Amino acid sequence: MRLAGRDLPTSISSQLRQIEDILEPLPKYMSEHGASTEQQVLLEAIIGDYIATPLKKYLAASEQDRLEGSSATALFSEQLVLLFSTAQDLNLQIRSGAITELATYARFLNDKFEPSMLSGGSL
Q: What is the pLDDT of residues 39-81, one digit of tens each?
A: 999 999 999 999 999 999 999 999 999 999 999 999 999 999 9
Count of domains observed in the chain: 1
Kindly report whether the global pTM for this prediction surpasses the value 0.85.
Answer: no
Q: Kindly report the number of other CB atoms within 10 A of residue 3's CB atom.
A: 6
Q: Report the C-alpha gap between 67 and 46 in whole angstroms.
A: 25
Q: Report the C-alpha gap between 62 and 114 in whole angstroms.
A: 68
Give the percent of the chain with pLDDT over 70: 81
Contact, 7 vs 26, CB < 8 A?
no
Domain housing 109: 2-113
Nearest Cα neighbor of 73 from 19, 15, 3, 22 is 15
Evaluate whether residue 118 is within a structural domain: no
Given a cut of 90, is residue 7 above it in pLDDT? no
Evaluate whether residue 123 is within a structural domain: no
If one compares 2 and 67, the residue with the highest pLDDT of the two is 67
Evaluate whether residue 120 is within a structural domain: no
Evaluate whether residue 20 is within a structural domain: yes
Evaluate whether residue 122 is within a structural domain: no
Evaluate whether residue 121 is within a structural domain: no
pLDDT digits (tens, 9 = 90+) for 14-31: 999 999 999 999 999 999
